[in-house]
Structure formats: C-alpha cells, structure tokens
Amino acid sequence: MTETITLGEIAIEVTRKPVRNVHLSVHPPDGRVTLVAPSETRLEVARAYAIAKLGWIRDQQAKLENQARETPRLFVERESHYLWGRRYLLSVEERKARPGVKLDHKRIILTVRPGADLVKRAEIMRAWQRQLLHEAVPPVIDKWERKLGVSVAGYFLQRMKTKWGSCNPSAGHIRLNTELVRKPKDLLEYIVVHEMLHLIEPTHNERFIALLNEHYPVWREARNELNELPLGAENW
C-alpha cells in the first residue's frame, strides 16, 4: 500500500516493505520523490524523516531541473541525434523508395518518401532504434544469465517516462526503456543487470545492494552517469 506525504509543494510516495532502513529517492526526469520504510514504520515517523531531508530533496530536484535537456527532435537535415552515447548528424533523403535508416561514419541517414511529415519520420527512426536494441539486449541477457544463475523468460522494450527499466520477478520478465539506445552500451548493461538481479531479490533492500556490489561494483558510477546525461524532450 502506498500513501502520500505532502510537504509544501513536494509530494512524497511512502511505501512500507520488509527492509531495515529508510530509502529516500528523487527520480529523474521529473523529480518524483519516493520513500521506502520498514513495514512497522508509522506515517508520522516517515514524515519526520522526510522533513529532516527536505533540503536534500530540494537540491536533488534542482539538479534535475537544471540538467541538460534536449530540444524536441524535428528529424531535419544536420540535426543532432545520439546513438550509444555518440552524437551523430542526421541526413535526410527523400526518395520514392522503401523508408529506412542506416549509419554512416558520422551520420545517421534517414530515407523517407517525399513529403513525409514529422510523425512519419519519428516512427521510422524509432522502429530502427528498437531493432538496434533487439540486437544488443539478448547477448547481454545471455551473458548475465550464466553469471547470475537466473533465467529471463522474456524482455520487453517500452517508452517509459520515469524509469530506465523494471522487472516482474514472478513472471521472469524485464522491461527496458527504449531511450537506452541513445546512452552508452555499458549503461544499457547496468540496467539489464539491475533488473535481472530483481529475479534474485525483488526489493531494493540491503541484500539487493550487496548483490549489486558483488556482481556490478561500478553500479553507482553507472547510475550517476545515466542520470546526468541529457534528458529527452518528449512529454509522453
């Protein structure tokens, strides 16, 4: 059960779980605040903890507010696009041929039919990006299934507004944010490992942190880098 604490303009989602310590988080991209507390914690105690951390919460939200944010993509000639952490310039070719995308040395070449609008151009680009993820993700899952001794029943790609990934431990499924195609591949691997570890430990408790430390010791650096990279401009 989730309850909400309101401190001025800040709403904090409070969830009680079988954990030892309180975990307070400010989530990108919009600064949503969550607090996970031990099962027996009274709401008044959680509120007092949040009040004590109010300065930290505001600092974290300010960092996200000031974080580099891309302008909306228009899919026009010489526009910047990111792929696996690298910046490319877009080249648009209008031809009476099958639409598609290919990668050159420093360019992403988008082929569209004459008169194709923004929506159609975006659709073609996103289909290509999803295909790249479908090529990149299975080898990472296969590698970590052997290392972790777990089995992923399936993975799904989804445009997510506030999460990089999620896991359904009972079904053995993981979901990955399609935005990851624009980030360095090692950050994709970090998110895959993070979600696969939830097949061993479903919650973000001390055991989960210990598993991260054991299997992916640079996870804090990866998380920080991921959250400091430019945010997309879309509001979905």
One digit per residue, the tens of pLDDT, for the chain of length 236 reads: 789 999 999 999 999 988 888 999 988 777 899 999 999 999 999 999 999 999 999 998 888 777 656 678 899 999 999 999 999 999 999 999 999 999 988 899 999 999 999 999 999 999 999 999 999 999 999 999 999 999 999 999 999 877 899 999 999 999 999 999 999 999 999 999 999 999 999 988 889 999 999 999 999 899 888 877 655 544 33
The crossing angle, in degrees rounded to 10, of helices 118-148 and 185-197 is: 60
Same domain membership, residue 193 and residue 112:
yes
Same domain membership, residue 108 and residue 182:
yes
Q: What is the domain count for the chain?
A: 2
Q: Is residue 98 part of a domain?
A: yes
Same domain membership, residue 60 and residue 85:
no
Same domain membership, residue 155 and residue 62:
no
Q: Is residue 84 part of a domain?
A: yes
Which run of H or of E encompasses 79?
none
Same domain membership, residue 156 and residue 130:
yes
The model carries a pTM of: 0.75
Same domain membership, residue 224 and residue 156:
yes
Range of the domain at 156: 80-228
Same domain membership, residue 84 and residue 62:
no
- Six token digits for residue 83: 């792929």
Same domain membership, residue 201 and residue 102:
yes
As a whole number of angstroms, the distance between CA 138 and CA 47 comes to: 43
Same domain membership, residue 118 and residue 53:
no
Q: CA–CA distance from 55 to each of 58, 91, 112, 166 (Å)?
A: 5, 46, 50, 29
